[in-house]
Amino acid sequence: MKRYLTHPWLTIRVQLALGAIFVIAAIPKIADPPSFAHMIYNYRLVPASLINLSALVMPWVELLAGLALILGVWKKAARNVIGILLAVFIIAISINLFRDNAIDCGCFNVADRGKTHEQRIFDMKVDVVRDLGMLLMVGQLWWAGKREEDLEAANVAPPS
Amino acid sequence: MERWRLAGVPTHLLRFAKRCALLRRLTISMKQNTIFQAAAIVAAGIILALVANAFASRDRKVSLVGTYPNALKVPAREVPVAPPPVVTPVTQTVATTTQPATITVPPTATTTTQPTATAAIETVGLNPKAKTPPAPAPTTTTAPPPPTTEFKVHPDKPYIEIAYNDVKALHDKNVLFLDARRTSVYEQGHIPGARTYSVWESDIDDKVNKLFAERNDQAAQNLPIVIYCSGGDCEDSHMLAQKLWGIQFNNVYVYKDGFPDWQQHGAPVHTGANP
């Protein structure tokens, strides 16, 4: 089982998929920073002075980390950055679910879609599950990377 | 090497220890390298973000430090008031028409008049409380009620929320209207005469200062201003009202239900970048 879950065939596909997801997610935010700032404001977790800065910087970090995964450059660093971002997203959405503060996630779309409170709460739950799924993908990359390191340390060629 | 020999350590143990030390050093350097690379990704992101913002168009640019007074305050949820239950006369009406033998109402009475909900219940006798005369049917041709708010200066509060009738009355008086939604949304349709004042765009402070320069005496600052956004849980108009109140505009009104309500009432809408 471990051999299959850390197999390079799976790893390369997970890496490309995760990279593509983050590139796709970053584009609408880069295209419209004021709307993304509004989304971050709605979370009511970021101090006022950091809202606009976060709205500017976060999408570019997502884009660069996603591109790094797709191109296979600085894979581990990109994987770690994406893992941290996902953990932050999951915590932020979960806190607002707990507070019953219905918000649009702003993950892939920054336009206000005029949803009801119930629709937003449902979408937030879906977003948490989706982000946990992506965190599992990060976990797979980490596990595969660790196995590769172990094999290299033992001077054994990784399975092809 | 010499130390190990002096200590009398066997050669195979020496090689093993060297390999362990090398591996540990390699692992540490790789970890440091990963941290450095992650920091480089974040730093590159910051630089690209700042450059992109510097070259962004007016409606896509944000100020680096925003002022949002309620950034950490969770808004209280507005629970919609449920409408009073309406009893539909469908089943009762069917009963009166299909079984005329069991009810003493002449068949002509049921066929010529359309029973109201109360009348239908009375006929069947389901609800003994429903003995009140039927309420007059709502007429669609009545004129809207007059404005309920007196538009007096209110320096003690940043804004007063008003509804459509008051908004329409102020619009008819050519009061200044400010649209707090995004410029792109404003261009798709806005209240005629309204100016675009999006609180999320970088030039909002310039626009507010310009308005202050336009209305630089007390009398002008006390003239009413109406601000609106998208209604519902949209707070942009309230945020703009706070900004205006902060520079001595003491007669600001927020159109609570916003532009969707304006459209629902069939009021005129202007499209494009100009007011």
State ipTM.
0.93
Surface of A (70-129) touching B: CB under 8 A = 74, 76-78, 80-81, 99-102, 112, 114, 117
The answer on B105 and B13 residing in a single domain is no
Task: Assess if residue A160 is contained within a domain.
Answer: no
Query: Per-residue pLDDT tens for B32-63?
Result: 789 999 999 999 999 999 999 999 998 899 99
The answer on B170 and B231 residing in a single domain is yes
Distance from CA of B120 to the nearest CA of A (A): 36
Task: Assess if residue B168 is contained within a domain.
Answer: yes
Task: Assess if residue A62 is contained within a domain.
Answer: yes
CB-based contact B230 A35, cutoff 8 Å? no
> What is the average pLDDT value for chain B, to the nearest integer?
77
How many domains in chain A?
1
Task: Assess if residue A158 is contained within a domain.
Answer: no
CB-based contact A48 B74, cutoff 8 Å? no
**By the CB < 8 Å criterion, does A141 face chain B?**
no
The answer on B241 and B174 residing in a single domain is yes
Surface of A (2-31) touching B: CB under 8 A = 30-31
Chain A residue with CA closest to B20: the answer is A153
| Interval B2-30 mean pLDDT | 69
Please, which pLDDT band fits residue B114 given cuts at 50, 70 and 90? very low
| Interval B7-18 mean pLDDT | 75
Question: CB atoms < 10 A from the CB of B36, how many?
Answer: 12
Distances in Å between the alpha carbon of A28 and those of A16, A24, A130?
A: 20, 8, 19
Task: Give the pLDDT confidence score for residue B19 in this predicted structure.
Answer: 79
The answer on B260 and B169 residing in a single domain is yes
Q: Say how far apart CA A145 and CA A52 lie, in whole Å.
A: 35
Please, which pLDDT band fits residue B198 given cuts at 50, 70 and 90? very high
Task: Give the pLDDT confidence score for residue A34 in this predicted structure.
Answer: 94
B44, B62, B73: residue with CB nearest A34:
B62
Chain A residue with CA closest to B32: the answer is A77
Task: Assess if residue B31 is contained within a domain.
Answer: yes
Distance from CA of B31 to the nearest CA of A (A): 9
Chain A residue with CA closest to B198: the answer is A34
Q: What percent of chain A has pLDDT over 90?
A: 82
Query: Per-residue pLDDT tens for A23-50?
Result: 999 999 999 999 999 999 999 999 999 9
Dihedral sign from CA coordinates of A137, A140, A144, A149: positive
Q: State the count of interchain CB pairs (< 8 A) between A and B.
A: 115
B106: domain range? 90-124
How many domains in chain B?
3
List of chain B residues whose C-beta atoms are within 8 Å of the C-beta of residue A88: none
Tell me which of A39, A45, A71, A74 to substitute to probe the interface with B (most B C-beta atoms closer than 10 Å).
A74
Query: Per-residue pLDDT tens for A101-144?
Result: 999 999 998 887 778 899 999 999 999 999 999 999 999 999 99
Task: Assess if residue A43 is contained within a domain.
Answer: yes
